[in-house]
Structure 1
Amino acid sequence: MANGIACAGASVGILVSAPATQFILDVYGWRGCLLLLGGVCLHLGVVGALFRPGSSSTAPTDPCQYTQVESDEERSTQSALTSGESKESCTTVSSHLVSKIIAATDADLFCNFSFVVLIICFCNICVVIIVWVVFTVPHVLVKGLTPYQASLVAGAGAVGILTGQLGHGLLVDKEILGARPMLYISHVLMAAAFLLDPLLHGLWPLVAGNFAFGVGFGITFPLSFTMLRALVGPARMSNAVGWAEAAGGIMRIAATFLTGWLYDTTGSYDTSYLVIGSLPVVVIAALLLEDANNMICARKRMDGPE
């Protein structure tokens, strides 16, 4: 629930900015709109300046305490030991270096199938949110809606995201639904929203479809982080998030080109939505494979060595 609240700012921003931006655009034109939006973004610098480090239980380091410098004799002894150790082969040194890099970055997490599945989940949400942001307004305009109705559709998606972010925490924390079933439900909602979109026409069907997508995304984004922490533990969380964000960042860059390429190639938003809608289906398949793998491993542990 705490993580859902922390992630809710983005959906509130989308909810407010969609109609507000359209209003500013109509009143001041695109140049004035960009100037005002730029001024709003400049406030982020002030917000960042307000951050202060929390109180720490550890005593601050005394600047008057220094590390004792080694004597010449100690350095000579250390040099002799180092030269003796330099007889290691290049292969051994390289292996040792690789081991240190793996230990420092927790790259061995990729040997865990459950971690790989969560990375796939991160990649999926990074792609679908880019596609939704880029396609929603022009797509519904092609379907015959007005610009204000288009902003209402986008706002419905934002309300859905907020609902998913705040609602899933209550269900999981109260143990009404487990995190795993919730992850399945969220991807089913995202897949259905994209795959059924070509059949949706008119304001309220599109509002419902975008709300469903928003709920699915709103569940998946914060839930992926909490499940990641449960999988790797607090000690490895920083590196795990680093790998997840690195993979997600690559997919965000790719998605910005993919959206334009899909529409330029197919000439149809409907076809593009069908292609993107297959991505959550791939995640669902990966989750099913993970469940099957966990069942097999659990059965082997129960059987034990013969």
Structure 2
Amino acid sequence: MSATTSARRSAGTTTVRKPKVSTGRRVSGWLWTLLAVAVALCWIFTVYWMVNSSFLSTVTLQKSTPTWLPFGGSWDNFKNIFADGTFVKALSISLGVTLLTVLVAIVVAFLGALAISRFRFKGRKSFILAMLLIQMLPAEGMFIAQFKMMASWGLVNNILGLTLLYAAAVIPFTLWMLRGFVAGVPAELEEAALVDGLSGTQAFLRITFPLLAPGLVASAVYAFLQAWNEFTIALVVMQDNDVRTLPLWLRGLVQASATRETHWCLVMAGSTMVAVPVIIFFMIVRSKMSSGLVGGAVKG
């Protein structure tokens, strides 16, 4: 066999060696994985225990031996939740306030993020600093002023008044989130579209806006969770029992017993029903967020 042939064969059978991973890195990776699984199990268990307790009776739940599976349970707690109609009314109020808050917060924050990222104007840095300082103010310190303002406008026990307060609380951080997304989209993309013959509005709608879809969805998720779970502002503004949001309704459920004994099974059923709309919202948003990320990557 000639030297040329052997060289060709050796060149043809050359394999690429994979970099070796040290044993220490493997052990560290396994430890972090086990820690993440343990934390996930602890989080999942709390949700499971809430759902499990909602099917049990008060006597069963108060036993010293925990009931891990709801065998023999019933839907009585859920039937009691819907019996007087207060849950449905509180649900409609919470949905209305939350959706209005998300709409107002996204529109205002999006326009503000565009102004901060795309334009240079006097007082821009001061505005950004003031926006961050507002987030540091404790909400409790503004309760009296907020209540007096809503009372002077006749918006106490009013969905519109609560929406304004929620939007004011959510907009600063939402604007800050969207500012990062807008700043990450190069302005040269719009300039190239203008050169191709598109108008300013067409360039924004066809080029920039699709790339900002993931940021808009992420900001909407934040606004939704803040408005849906908010308790203290609603407690101050919505004082009438007929206009309670779901957190206030759940608090009333805890204090409903005349004997001061909390029926935790009923509370767990109410908590489960409060969580259902959030789960549905996340199932919808998850698919839209994935499509937005893919679409933005392709268009970029």
Q: Same fold, TM exceeding 0.5?
A: no
The TM-score, its normalising length taken from structure 1, stands at 0.33
Relative to the length of structure 2, the TM-score reads 0.33
User: Which structure shows the higher helix fraction?
Assistant: 1
